[in-house]
Structure 1
Amino acid sequence: MRFSKSEITAAMEATGMIPVFNHSDIEVAKSVVDSSYQGGVRVFEFTNRGANSLEVFKALKEYAKQYEDLILGIGTIFTPAEAEEFLEAGADFIVSPALIPNIGAFCNNKGILWIPGCGTVTEIYNAKEMGAEVVKAFPGNVLGASFVSAVKAVMPDLKIMPTGGVEPTEDNLSKWFGAGVVCVGMGSQLFKKEWIRNKDFAPLEKQIGQTLELIQSIKKKNS
């Protein structure tokens, strides 16, 4: 792989936000990657949620070669077979919606960063024992920032990324980063349906840029 685990986690922490996106139209996906990168994103998660997701991901990986420091991972992975397919297509990291031990074992064997979705302290502890260096608090809007605060109290070195319902607002982001998250995953709240439907990518780039600036401001206040 082009990026090591430490390089990926450092980039996640530096930018503070990972866009989470899927689309069946390759050209739309390329435009979203363009807008994300130009807005300041350096870690991007495409999700395996469509019949042609592998085909789109392969095209995106080839297209993204122009952005030498863009880290491109795959999410919504449920089996080692899926993980292997996307790794062969060039995925830099693997994200799962749940704690799936055989995916953890597969990724550890390959030396790949694996980010499992966890919703309890037990799952998070088990994820750490399985070698996960970052865990996804999912669904974030159900668990809430207070869940992260409680987990960090007993596992202070843990890197947590909430995904699901994270909003690009000062109030919402302040709660998450105040709780100690390393970064946030953001999907539907970032990618407005009408922008994508109308292929209007300028406001998307603007919103991504503003969100990343807001995150940096919040992190500075918390440091």
Structure 2
Amino acid sequence: MSLTQDEILLKMAETGMIPVFNHKDIDVAKKVLDTSYEAGVRVFEFTNRESNALEVFRNLRIYADKYPDLLLGIGTIFTREEARRFYHAEADFVVSPALIPDVAAYCTMKGKFWIPGCATLTEVYQAKSLGARLVKAFPGNLLGAGFVKAVLSVMPEMKIMPTGGVEPTEENLSAWFKSGVHCVGMGSQLFDKKAIEEGDFNGLANNIKRALDIIQKIK
């Protein structure tokens, strides 16, 4: 899907949550993507953490074309070369765990929406200087909602997405959204590995729906 940066930001804000997932089995990845979409997800991040992640992503990208309103991005990108490979695999956006100028430069050159990981105000400022519209507060469980509130007090124009330790509970999500986050990224807290291994995709769908409902309620 080809969208402007403003349109991507709006789409991320609409549901308020970006599932973060990886798996070496393409059939499992397809099933998780289907389940997430049916539960209401419209922005999905697959992460570059397995040795065959590029192969799985390429297949998932083709498969996801049946959902014309779904954004499918790639996460855990550390190098320009990784960014290049997934750009050609048609990732809709690129996420990094850290602020990496080479990745920023490549994505900017290609007009690809990119989200750098930041853990200090200095990094958020540098990310903005490099053209970032949205930054990933990572690791979220260590930084906390107070970090988001503090950054936005001096850089209110920035948009922040915490990832890592975000929990699908009303208490946790309320704290994040009250601090001013644009959206949240959620991985292991949302995707129960045992349930996926056992094929309990109904349970997974219920977890995702519950999290999305909580977010819509508190936004």
TM-score when normalising by structure 2: 0.98
TM-superposition CA deviations, 1:130-172 (whole Å, max 9, x none): 0001000000000000010100100112100000000000000
Q: For residue 2 of structure 1, report the CA deviation from its aligned partner.
A: 2.1
Q: Specify the SS of the correspondent of 1:132.
A: coil
TM-superposition CA deviations, 1:5-24 (whole Å, max 9, x none): 22211110111000000000
Q: For residue 105 of structure 1, report the CA deviation from its aligned partner.
A: 0.8
Question: Which position in structure 2 is the counterpart of 1:217?
Answer: 217
Moved over 6 A (4+): none
Percentage of pairs with the same residue: 63
Aligned partner of 1:65: which letter? D
Distance in 2 separating the partners of 1:146 and 1:200: 36
Distance in 2 separating the partners of 1:102 and 1:191: 31
Tell whether the 8 Å contact from 1:3 to 1:71 is kept in structure 2 after alignment.
Answer: no
Question: Which position in structure 2 is the counterpart of 1:33?
Answer: 33
Question: Which position in structure 2 is the counterpart of 1:112?
Answer: 112
Q: For residue 119 of structure 1, report the CA deviation from its aligned partner.
A: 0.3
Tell whether the 8 Å contact from 1:11 to 1:43 is kept in structure 2 after alignment.
Answer: yes
Distance in 2 separating the partners of 1:212 and 1:123: 29
Tell whether the 8 Å contact from 1:96 to 1:116 is kept in structure 2 after alignment.
Answer: yes
TM-superposition CA deviations, 1:68-88 (whole Å, max 9, x none): 000000000011111110110
Distance in 2 separating the partners of 1:63 and 1:193: 22
Distance in 2 separating the partners of 1:139 and 1:208: 21
1:81 is aligned to 2:81: yes
Q: Specify the SS of the correspondent of 1:66.
A: coil
Question: Which position in structure 1 is the counterpart of 2:151?
Answer: 151
Aligned pairs, how many?
219
TM-superposition CA deviations, 1:172-218 (whole Å, max 9, x none): 00000000000000000000111111121111111111111110100
Q: Specify the SS of the correspondent of 1:188.
A: coil
Distance in 1 separating the partners of 2:3 and 2:24: 26
Structure 1: gaps of 5 or more residues:
none
Question: Which position in structure 1 is the counterpart of 2:99?
Answer: 99
1:125 is aligned to 2:125: yes
| Aligned-CA RMSD value | 0.8
Distance in 2 separating the partners of 1:201 and 1:24: 17
